[in-house]
Chains A and B, each alone.
Chain A
Amino acid sequence: MIAQKFSFALIGNPNAGKSSIFNQLTGLRQKTGNFPGVTVEKKTGLATLADYRQVSVMDLPGAYSLYPNSQDERIVLNILSNPQDPNYPDAVIYVADLTNLERHLLLLSQIKDLGLPLILALNMIDLAVEEGVFFDKKNLIKDLEVPVVGVNGRTGEGVEELKEWMFAQSIQKRDIAAQYSPFEKKAYFYSPTDAERKTIDKIRTVLPDADVPYRALLWAHHYDRLPFLTNFQKNTIKQAAESEKFEDLRLQITETLQRFDKIQPIIRGAIRKPKNESVTLTDHIDRIVTHHIYGPLIFFGILALIFQSIFSWAAIGKDAIEQAFIGLNVLLKNQLPRVWITDLITDGVLAGLSGVLQFIPQIAVLFFFIGLLEEVGYMARSVYLFDRIMQKFGMNGRSIVALVSGGACAIPAIMSTRTISNWKERLITIMVTPLISCSARIPVFVLLVGFIVPQKRVLGYFSFQGLVFGGLYVLSAVSALASAYVFKRILKTNESTFLMIELPDYKLPHWKNVWYNVLQKVRSFVTEAGKTIIVVSIILWFLASFGPPASMQRTIIASETAAKTENLSPRQTNDYIASKKLEASFAGRLGKFIEPAISPLGFDWKIGIALISSFAAREVFVGSIATIYSVGSDPDNTSSIQERMKKEIRPNGSPVYSLAASLSLMIFYVFALQCMSTIAVVHRETKSWKWPLIQFLYMGAMAYVGSYLVYHLFR
């Protein structure tokens, strides 16, 4: 067996510039995944050092200390406090910002006490020197007893030196038994209280991995939520802690303060800053960007730009992909023999693939903007601006970005909620985002609004149809907020919600980081949600193309004869047969089966078929209706469908698409979660089927009740 590669973990405070250094070290040789059980992104890559020696590098989420306040920080703790963890690194590259070193050294001191080999990579030295900061590297190295390298994530300056240090670390023989040296014996940053020492000693006697005293101390603090400890171990630690009256939070504060007591003289010896508090560029920018009038205006301006780019610019890409697939579909259908396997490839697999790939432009565009805003430091400002309002609805300032981009497409919007660290706030945002009217509903609304709303002007200027259209959007936004409010009341959490967010200095974006981020998001959507979408697409294809064989056969023969006696043209014959086949298929049977359930909404079984098939994506509704009414291949589609819909009557002679029924159908599409891709993405983001199921049901219930009310109100 080949020996495991030497592994480095990149650790540092949020906004320390880890990603840039990660990208500099690994280039595009990186993989993204998730840490087990959570949706915190895990990025790993390979770096080549001298002698072609390859080492693995893992970018851990940003953390302030080993006393976690967020899911991100918890992951860092879980990995670093468990030497058995597959992600436990052989050494740590600690990334810190020179202009703010005091704070950054807290976590470094904790990692050092864990006995992990360290390299300190100091980012932004150039910037600090420009600001007039005097920096004595030799002193810092002497005091910290850690190699220090100045790096520039932007230009790559210093990365070669960092690699030399990594090389040196990687060939060093590891101190396998990081022998137990009690706190008295070694120069640790922290010397614990008596209660802590006694607790540690008790833990050590029963737990073999507690050989590093600070690790044992961390266990004493966090045992309850450390996933790798067995119940027996947890109980042992609990007893030890209780018998020593171990006061978790108090001791944490004592420890932190003591660490800063040690850090402050080190900083004084290595760094001298100009005395007066200077007014920085960030101060100037924030005077406008977080201004109580300009702030929100700028924010909504940015949102409008994002919305516009997803809605119209990315839509060009989306349409191009769709058209390409339609073309490919037709080509294959003409070239391949007309057997079921051809249909499986074209209408099942290709349709599913198209359903996956057509979202790429929108995902790429949204994450380009989000990545850019995150890079320059703007995102935290939006949280600050809107925290209060969003809090009322159980969400976070960042939720606004998801909700607004949900107006273009829920898929990238839901993926964007990853930046929300509070689970409850994130979940609520995910749950209500699909209520926001997305672009896929537009074809359905166009068809129905055009059908029921007369083309007249209101007040001489506003198009009546446009107003109704706008009303649908308002309805969707209001219902999303209302649902969020309800979820806020229902969902219980033991996670307390905090704002306490750092507003980092503004800086120019590293374009590399932005592009890598876009690439990763697209990749993870295609590989993870993509699978579900293709499977569902194949199932829907099967339902719409197959029925009980005998009755399908009969239907085809009967409709062929009927077409002959009616003297239909070849195209009309094809449309007619397709319509009859759909009626006889499983989907058709399903439509008839659910008719009793949907007739109170004013829908007949034909609409039922369209509802079922448009589960693939809402816009499929139009196509299905066209097939059912055998106007499938009519070039002038929308208006011919509308003509045909007018003629459709019930057995009693009244029109199927009465005003009430059409309104009801429209309401149904406002609320119902008719989108398998959303379900796949929610499944992926929440790591469970529970939440997509709840979402499907609650939105379905809203759709049903809403449609029922509207139908009976207008009948």
Chain B
Amino acid sequence: MSLKTASDLKEGETGMILSYGNDRIAGKLLSMGFIPGKTLRLVRKSPFGGGLYLKMEENVIAVRENEASYILISDTQV
């Protein structure tokens, strides 16, 4: 199990949310249900770069790459 952030994910990879490296981003994403323990999947990246399409259970969000770099995740790849 290695420590990384959601911006390190490749398309199709998943990771479990551990915590956040930025309180403001944490505040917003937590209120949208992205709480530690949930599994996150990077579905795809936006065509012109910069945007990530993330899925957590039924929730889909788009975040910028630098925002995703504050989502600390653990590798859940089997």
Contacts and interface: CB of A to CB of B under 8 A. Distances in A.
Do these two chains really belong together in a complex? yes
Interface of A: 64-65, 67, 69, 99-100, 102-103, 106-107, 249-250, 252-253, 256-257, 260, 277, 280, 282-283, 286, 290-293, 295-296, 380, 383-389, 391, 496, 498-505
A500 B53 contact: no
A502 B47 contact: no
17 contacts: A100-B33, A103-B32, A249-B26, A253-B23, A260-B35, A282-B60, A283-B43, A295-B47, A296-B47, A385-B47, A389-B48, A498-B67, A500-B25, A503-B60, A503-B61, A505-B58, A505-B60
Contacts, number: 115
A103 B27 contact: no
B24 A499 contact: no
Interface in B1-38: 20, 23-33, 35-36
B51 A387 contact: yes
Contacts of B46: 290, 292, 384-385, 387-388
B67 A250 contact: no
A500 B63 contact: yes
Most-contacted residue by chain A among B31, B59, B61 (CB, 10 A) = B31
Contacts of B36: 257
Interface residues of B, number: 33
Contacts of A257: 30, 35-36
Given A501-B61, A503-B61, A249 B24 contact: yes
Contact of A286 (B27, B32, B53): B53
Interface string B44-66: 11111111010001111111100
Contacts of A286: 43, 53, 60
A384 B31 contact: no
Given A252-B27, A256-B27, 7 more contacts: A249-B23, A252-B23, A253-B27, A384-B46, A388-B48, A498-B64, A500-B62
Contact of A503 (B25, B47, B49, B62): B62
A500 B33 contact: no
Contacts of B57: 100, 277
A668 to B, nearest CB: 35
A502 B24 contact: no
B64 A499 contact: yes
A253 B48 contact: no
A606 to B, nearest CB: 49
In the A-B complex, the 7 residue pairs with the closest CB atoms: A103-B33, A388-B50, A292-B47, A249-B23, A384-B62, A65-B31, A64-B31
Contacts of B61: 500-503
A505 B57 CA distance: 12
Nearest to A69: B28
A387 B33 contact: no
A393 to B, nearest CB: 13
Contact of A388 (B30, B51, B59): B51
A290 B53 contact: yes
Contacts of B28: 64, 69, 498, 500
Contacts of B32: 64, 103, 500, 502
B75 to A, nearest CB: 18
Majority SS at the chain A contact face? helix
A435 B45 CA distance: 32
A498 B22 CA distance: 13
Contacts of A102: 33
A511 to B, nearest CB: 25
B30 A256 contact: yes
Contacts of B30: 253, 256-257, 260
Most-contacted residue by chain A among B32, B45, B46, B67 (CB, 10 A) = B46
Given A103-B33, A290-B44, A293-B47, A502 B25 contact: no
A65 B31 CA distance: 6
Contact of B31 (A106, A292, A505): A106
Contacts of A69: 27-28, 31
A533 to B, nearest CB: 38
Contacts of A499: 51, 62-64, 67
A100 B33 CA distance: 9
A458 B51 CA distance: 42
Contact of B62 (A64, A282, A380): A380
B58 A99 contact: yes
Contacts of A256: 27, 30-31, 35
A647 to B, nearest CB: 53
A260 B33 CA distance: 8
A89 B71 CA distance: 37
Contact of B29 (A260, A277, A500): A500
A496 B28 CA distance: 12
A391 B46 CA distance: 14
Given A64-B32, A260-B35, A503-B60, A249 B27 contact: yes
A296 B29 CA distance: 27
B24 to A, nearest CB: 7
Nearest to A70: B28
B67 to A, nearest CB: 6
Contacts of A64: 28, 31-32
B32 to A, nearest CB: 6
A76 to B, nearest CB: 12
B47 A387 contact: no
B35 A387 contact: no
Nearest to B39: A277
A396 to B, nearest CB: 12
Contacts of B24: 249, 496
A389 B47 CA distance: 10
A95 B47 CA distance: 34
Given A103-B59, A500-B63, A67 B51 contact: no
Contacts of A249: 23-24, 26-27
Contacts of B67: 498-500
Contacts of B31: 64-65, 67, 69, 106-107, 256
Contacts of B29: 500
